[in-house]
Amino acid sequence: MSVVQKIWNSGRKHILNSILFLLSIIFVVIILSFDKNYSWQDISGRGIVVTSCYFVLYMFLYQFRPEILNVVRKTLFIIITILFFVSVTAICVSLSDQNILYIIPFALIPIVIRTFYDARLALFVLLITIMITGFIVPKPFEFVFLNFLTGMVAIFSLKNIYRRARLFTSCVFIVLSYSVIFFAISLETSDIDWSSFKWIAGNGFLILLSYPVIFLFEKKFYFLSDATLLELSDTNQPLLRRLAREAPGSFQHSRQVAILAEEAAGVVDANVLLVRTGALYHDIGKIVNADYFVENQNMGSSPHKNLDPVKSSAIIINHVNEGVFLARKYKLPVQIIDFIRTHHGTTKTYFFYKKYLEMNHIKGGDDSDFAYPGPKPFSKEMAIIMMADAVEASSRTLEKYTEDSINELVERILIIQENDDQFTDAPLTFKDISDIKSAFKKTLLTIYHSRIAYPERDSE
């Protein structure tokens, strides 16, 4: 992609995001002023306040989560979440029983946002939402205080949304927190409305709807939750079972890559579940022409012996395209397909390129026929898979597994990839790469540790 195209795409996304924010501001101001006898002065002031909230949200995303602004549907997801709760609050306020406000599950906001992003963004979106809705509720301080604290409880108590028992426990904590805080505020004002507790109980029941809500957002906005990743990483999945059956060597290689990548992801704060799942699927294209890959070949038997190096290289490189095709056929998420596309980046099949030069008695030449199409890894997780894939494959060629040989191997492989500029699009620091190397070395030493030679036993 040219520089001009990148600038155009970036500008177009910012324009679309600005339009989304502007339309959202107008919609919110209309909701906050609907069915009220507000003057233009009141409406203008409210519009400025709402615009300020959205501006702060935009700047937060721009500074700390720019990847959201780079994808319009991700921005739309945040805006729709805010608009939905503002609209529901406005409807509840218009009803005769104001206590119905306590049934609105604002704790659902941090639960859903945290499923796809981090706790900081979840808390920030919650704060923006309750501050905006605080303008139309009867007791704004009580409202904001209650929902802020229960939202914090939701974030602290729910670390793993894929564990159903954890969601139920979190729901209990949220209801208890809501009840205790509401009771404390009511004691202070000497005005305890016991009927409000039934709405608080209903609030807890609605929070249990997190699973279908998350599933809906996953399908409509192409997100990927931890629950889906756990399901995909099950080796009994049809595509993984097919890989194990038709390319058993590649399947074992993928499992080893997953072990290496998980350890590395843990030390650089990457998504461990995403890395594990991407590792298991990164080589599924080897199902096609499995015998052409060394890990699936019998000793001394290789179909490349009688092939031209260019043809051999084309078969090897094509496993990326075949993998993408299979992934789409089996309806894998686009995030997993990206691992298949990027795990070789724009590297070359150097073995066949060198063979080609030797056969033609030349020192150098056009290497385009031996280069993978890319793209290069553009996330931490993808870069880790590329590193782990190369390190694991090369580790099988070592004659002796010692600390020195493993250290030399890891350093050499990653230096080659760095010199080939394979990590220029990934958000990796020098410290990240150093920590990843250490994780690889430690894991490989554990995998290939020396064993005790047991004495032979007499036949008697």
pLDDT in tens, 427-460: 999 999 999 999 999 999 988 875 555 465 565 5
pLDDT value at residue 276: 96
What is the percent of the chain where pLDDT is above 90? 54
Asked if residue 301 and residue 184 are part of one domain, the reply reads no
- Cβ atoms of residues 92 and 104 within 8 Å: yes
pLDDT mean over 104-116: 91
Q: Picking from 218-232, 280-294, 384-398, which range would have the lowest pLDDT averaged per residue?
A: 218-232
pLDDT digits (tens, 9 = 90+) for 332-373: 999 999 999 999 999 999 888 888 888 877 877 777 889 999
Which of the two residues, 92 and 459, has the higher pLDDT score? 92
User: In degrees rounded to 5, what are phi and psi of residue 51?
Assistant: -60, -40
pLDDT value at residue 98: 76
Residue 460 lies in a domain: no
**Is 179 a residue whose pLDDT tops 70?**
yes
pLDDT mean over 301-325: 91
Binning pLDDT at 50, 70 and 90, where does residue 70 land?
confident
Which of the two residues, 234 and 458, has the higher pLDDT score? 234
Asked if residue 140 and residue 288 are part of one domain, the reply reads no
pLDDT value at residue 196: 82
Asked if residue 207 and residue 182 are part of one domain, the reply reads yes
Residue 179 lies in a domain: yes
Asked if residue 295 and residue 242 are part of one domain, the reply reads yes
**Is 246 a residue whose pLDDT tops 90?**
yes
**Is 188 a residue whose pLDDT tops 90?**
no
Asked if residue 437 and residue 397 are part of one domain, the reply reads yes
DSSP 227-285: HHHHHHT-TTSHHHHHHHHH-HHHHHHHHHHHHHHHHHHHHTT--HHHHHHHHHHTTGG
Binning pLDDT at 50, 70 and 90, where does residue 3 land?
very low
Question: Two tokens at 304?
Answer: 């490349």
Asked if residue 149 and residue 35 are part of one domain, the reply reads yes
Which of the two residues, 17 and 85, has the higher pLDDT score? 85
Asked if residue 380 and residue 366 are part of one domain, the reply reads yes
Which of the two residues, 376 and 189, has the higher pLDDT score? 376
CATH number at residue 239: 1.10.3210
pLDDT mean over 268-283: 95
Asked if residue 201 and residue 253 are part of one domain, the reply reads no
Contacts of 262 (CB under 8 A, 6+ apart): 272, 275, 276, 279
pLDDT mean over 116-138: 92
Residue 69 lies in a domain: yes
Q: Picking from 39-43, 392-396, 427-431, which range would have the lowest pLDDT averaged per residue?
A: 39-43
pLDDT value at residue 157: 83
Residue 120 lies in a domain: yes
Asked if residue 411 and residue 348 are part of one domain, the reply reads yes
Which of the two residues, 1 and 209, has the higher pLDDT score? 209
Question: Two tokens at 83?
Answer: 């608009």
pLDDT mean over 102-123: 91
Residue 457 lies in a domain: no
pLDDT digits (tens, 9 = 90+) for 8-29: 555 677 788 889 999 999 999 9
Binning pLDDT at 50, 70 and 90, where does residue 6 land?
low
CA distances to 26, 84, 103 from 51, rounded to whole Å, are: 9, 17, 27
pLDDT value at residue 4: 47
Domain span at residue 134 reads: 3-221
Question: Two tokens at 341?
Answer: 């596309």
pLDDT value at residue 414: 95
Asked if residue 230 and residue 216 are part of one domain, the reply reads no
pLDDT mean over 243-248: 95
pLDDT mean over 399-409: 90
Domain count, the chain: 2
Residue 454 lies in a domain: no
Task: Rounding to the nearest 10 degrees, give the CA dihedral for residues 272, 278, 280, 283.
Answer: -150
pLDDT mean over 143-168: 82
For the whole model, what pTM was predicted? 0.83
Q: CA-to-CA distance for 57 and 385, rounded, in angstroms?
A: 33
DSSP 136-153: TSSSHHHHHHHHHHHHHH
Where does a domain end: 221, 256, 278? Answer: 221
What is the percent of the chain where pLDDT is above 70? 91
pLDDT digits (tens, 9 = 90+) for 420-431: 999 999 999 999
Where does a domain end: 221, 250, 272? Answer: 221
**Is 324 a residue whose pLDDT tops 60?**
yes
pLDDT value at residue 316: 95
Residue 458 lies in a domain: no
**Is 142 a residue whose pLDDT tops 60?**
yes
Q: Which helix (H) or strand (E) holds 133?
A: helix 119-133
Where does a domain end: 202, 221, 240? Answer: 221
Q: Picking from 295-309, 314-328, 415-429, which range would have the lowest pLDDT averaged per residue?
A: 295-309
Asked if residue 382 and residue 243 are part of one domain, the reply reads yes
Residue 252 lies in a domain: yes
Asked if residue 358 and residue 211 are part of one domain, the reply reads no
Helix axis angle, 72-93 to 210-221, nearest 10°: 140
